Structure 1
């Protein structure tokens, strides 16, 4: 894993990417910070406002909720090699507040596979936020060319969640 210096002195981002078969990538990004887990959970489950603080997420809309299961429609967008790339997904999420996990899988969308999990773990004064994603592009989607972009975007997404959680905690 490689570490990236962050915008706040208390946090550390670690990142890992694994190349799987058929153009599939497994990415994991972890952020460690001195913040209560409830602030992170409130940000991650603020589905209607995710696009306000997660970079490159153009929209996020809750389609339905059934107990701890939620269905979202999300549209992501980014600039890559001078072109605008947009991807739309319908995700089904399962909230497990007690375990600090928010698992998701794509029902339909612009990828062959898009699934993963957010996990919040509190240990003493440090809270870790882990984001794991398994993504497989459609045929013709140059996943190899956008690997670095994926890495940058995931780190930026965690920074966006962090900054919003700090704002809600009165620290930013």
Structure 2
């Protein structure tokens, strides 16, 4: 049984916090990054159909194809709307390449949100969610993809 919440916050909760400058960034289809100190929200507007975006976000075995720092990913366990994924993250920091191996629990909610949390790995903690929402009607016919990571996600990484 998952310890992740099945609650989906209304889109207005985060959309109301966007400034006109934020909307201008999104309408240019540029990535919008908000937050600090390990609590971040990343948002992008896309003309891609929400169903296609959902199919990509739930294709856990292929995360390495579209998440730049993910070198490997595989489904370890699947039960209903809960999926456990193991992934190897590799990133270049200064003159070193650092690796972290994590196992996450992912809970799919109403084809709109994926809540995730760290189950094990060499990070202290990591949790957050992916979600897909239509943009408000006065902002165009785009879907908004939000990645919100709460937690510092820092920890021990192995240099290669």
- Identify whether the pair has TM-score above 0.5, normalized to the shorter chain: yes
Aligned length, in residue pairs = 131
Helix, strand or coil for the counterpart of 2:116?
Answer: strand
Q: Which runs of 5+ in 2 are unaligned?
A: 1-17
Give 2:92's match in structure 1, choosing from 79, 102, 125: 79
Task: Report the TM-score when normalising by structure 1.
Answer: 0.69
Deviations, residues 93-133 of structure 1 (Å, cap 9, x unaligned): 100134x0000000111111111100100235110000011
Give 1:18's match in structure 2, choosing from 19, 36, 50: 36
Helix, strand or coil for the counterpart of 2:129?
Answer: strand
Give 2:126's match in structure 1, choosing from 114, 122, 126: 114
Q: Which runs of 5+ in 1 are unaligned?
A: 20-24, 142-172
Distance (whole Å) between structure 2 residues aligned to residue 83 and residue 17 of structure 1:
26
Helix, strand or coil for the counterpart of 1:38?
Answer: helix
Question: In structure 2, do the counterparts of structure 1 residues 135 and 77 end up closer, same or farther at CA, with 3 Å as the change threshold?
Answer: farther
Deviations, residues 35-58 of structure 1 (Å, cap 9, x unaligned): 210111010011111112221101
- Determine whether 1:104 maps to 2:105: no
Helix, strand or coil for the counterpart of 1:52?
Answer: helix
Q: Which residue of 2 aligns with 1:167?
A: none
Cα-Cα RMSD? 2.3
38-47 or 10-19, which deviates more: 10-19
The Cα shift of 1:80 comes to 0.9
Task: Write out the 4+ residue segments of structure 1 that deviate beyond 3 Å after TM superposition.
Answer: none
Q: Is 1:111–1:135's contact at 8 Å kept on the other side of the alignment?
A: no
Distance (whole Å) between structure 2 residues aligned to residue 70 and residue 38 of structure 1:
19
Give 1:64's match in structure 2, choosing from 77, 92, 104: 77
The Cα shift of 1:10 comes to 5.2
